[in-house]
Amino acid sequence: MYGVGTSAVGSGNTLTLTVNFGFSPSFAGDRIIYMAARRNGDAFNSGWQAAGSLTVEYRQAVYTIQSTK
């Protein structure tokens, strides 16, 4: 993961997370993206949930991951 190009923007009950990252050749293949949410200050925790999928190809590319939940 790289710092440049990575951001988080909140609006109402929506959080848009943009993450700039790359993969090594050994990581190529189909992957499941998991997400979790936690409210600060109390015990509310969504737990890890499958929120999307990604096919990693060994080439430089921009990937967009979007959750429909």
In degrees, rounded to 5, the angle at the alpha carbon of residue 63 between the alpha carbons of residues 57 and 64 is 145
Q: Is residue 26 part of a domain?
A: yes
pLDDT digits (tens, 9 = 90+) for 20-69: 877 888 888 999 989 888 888 788 889 999 988 988 877 665 666 767 66
How many distinct structural domains can be found in the chain? 1
Return the pLDDT at 50.
93
From the CB of residue 20, how many other CB atoms can be counted at a distance below 10 Å?
Answer: 13
> Does the residue 61 lie in any domain?
no
Q: For residue 64, tell me if it sits in a domain.
A: no
Domain that holds residue 19: 2-56
1-31: pLDDT as tens digits: 566 888 888 898 888 888 887 788 888 899 9
Q: Which pLDDT score is estimated for 69? A: 63
pTM flag (> 0.85): no
In-domain check, residue 62: no
In a domain, 65, yes or no: no
Q: Are 17 and 8 contacting, i.e. CB atoms less than 8 angstroms apart?
A: yes
